[in-house]
Amino acid sequence: MTPLDLTKRLIAFDTTSRLSNLALIDFAQELLEGAGARCRRSYNPAKTKANLFASFGPEGDGGTVLSGHTDVVPVDGQDWSSDPFAAEVRGDRLFGRGACDMKGFVGTALSLADEIANTKLKRPIHFALSFDEEVGCTGVPALLADLKEAGIKPALVIVGEPTLMKVVGAHKGGTSVRTRCLGREGHSSAPHKGASAVMMAGEFIAMLARLGVELEADRDPRFDPPFTTTQANVVSGGTALNILAREAVVTWECRPLPGRDGLAVVERAKTLAESEILPKYKTGAPEAAFETKVSSSYPGLALDPDSPAVALALMLTGANRAETVAYGTEAGHFAAAGIPAVICGPGSIDQAHKADEFVALSELDACEAFLRKVIARAGQPSP
């Protein structure tokens, strides 16, 4: 199957993060084992989702990992021109959920399984297909733990997130947070006799904005924006216009620069909420409270001038330097586990998570050419 064929096949699996990815993993494992790969799985606690790690070539340490996540973001409420899970070629573009983020890379890599198997590899080539990247990179730690337990230590990893095939050597981290605001119900004509959780949530969001300004003092000009950010993206609460809301929930995030601690930002937000906002609401409701819980947190990827992963990608693409991105990937987890990482894949992040997501067919071609160079390199003696 061609990269286009396989990408279309992968898009047909609805692997929205709230659903299982096992059907896609079964398909990929059958394909890879059919080409002669050695496969192993790691699971979520309920075993409704799986990571797949497959290896070609000599056993033991070393080798290059081709890494991609299998889950996609929801299509709910989006105005698609075609069925998001029935990939469609229009002109020079392939449309479908996950076309660029990131089934285009996974499909292209899988299409080369037989070619990898028929190459006399001096060093292994591995595939790492993960679950739940889109909800905070929460699946790949199980894969990395499994590799550690099995004593498998790859030399480097190429994460195929959409970069327009540019070499990306650093990205920000990410921390997802849920803050529950607890007040006391009462008639809205007497707000001093209760506490509106919605008003508490509003002040909390305003505080996050002020905290964001505070964080702008620490800058790295290689990123856009060049500082750690905080952002509230979902808020809910209240039952009626004339009732003080008993509960409201703010879902927010922090995207720290590499080397900065997102959890420290969460603690700062908690301290400010307790000291600056809560006292006013406790006057009418002594039980008023903020409850903040971290949903997920993944590390950034720091730019390493000596990274063998970056060096390989630069050599094979002919690029002069590695770039940086503000979004997060699983590369930070790989690097934290001691596996040098680089991001390079087909498509543009500007198309990700939108209606009518697409990848240009030329991008799939460029990715195929790049991966063929990776395979050829693995067949050569070590420099």
Residue pair 68/143 in contact (Cβ under 8 Å)? The answer is no
How many Cβ atoms from other residues are within 10 Å of residue 70's Cβ? 28
Residue pair 155/123 in contact (Cβ under 8 Å)? The answer is yes
Out of 101, 132, 133, 253, the active site residue is: 133
Judged by DSSP in three states, 316 sits in helix
186 Cβ neighbours under 8 A, 6+ residues apart: 193, 194, 243, 244, 284
Out of 14, 26, 59, 71, the active site residue is: 71
133 is an active site residue:
yes
Structure tokens at 184: 């006391």
Q: Give the separation between CA 102 and CA 78, rounded to whole angstroms.
A: 19
Cα separation values, 109 from 3, 125, 189, Å: 8, 11, 63
In the chain, what is the straight-line distance between the N-terminal and C-terminal CA atoms, in Å? 33
How many Cβ atoms from other residues are within 10 Å of residue 118's Cβ? 12
DSSP secondary structure of 70-139: --B---TT---SS-TTS-EEETTEEESTTIIIIIHHHHHHHHTHHHHHTS--SS-EEEEEES-STTTS-S
Residue pair 7/346 in contact (Cβ under 8 Å)? The answer is no
Structure tokens at 183: 């007040």
Residue pair 64/313 in contact (Cβ under 8 Å)? The answer is no
Q: Give the separation between CA 102 and CA 96, rounded to whole angstroms.
A: 11
Task: Look up residue 96 and give its amino acid.
Answer: G
71 is an active site residue:
yes
Phi, psi of 75 (to 5 degrees): -105, 0
- b/e string for 12-28 if b means 16 or more Cβ within 10 A? bbbbbbeebbbebbebb
> Catalytic positions, please?
71, 133
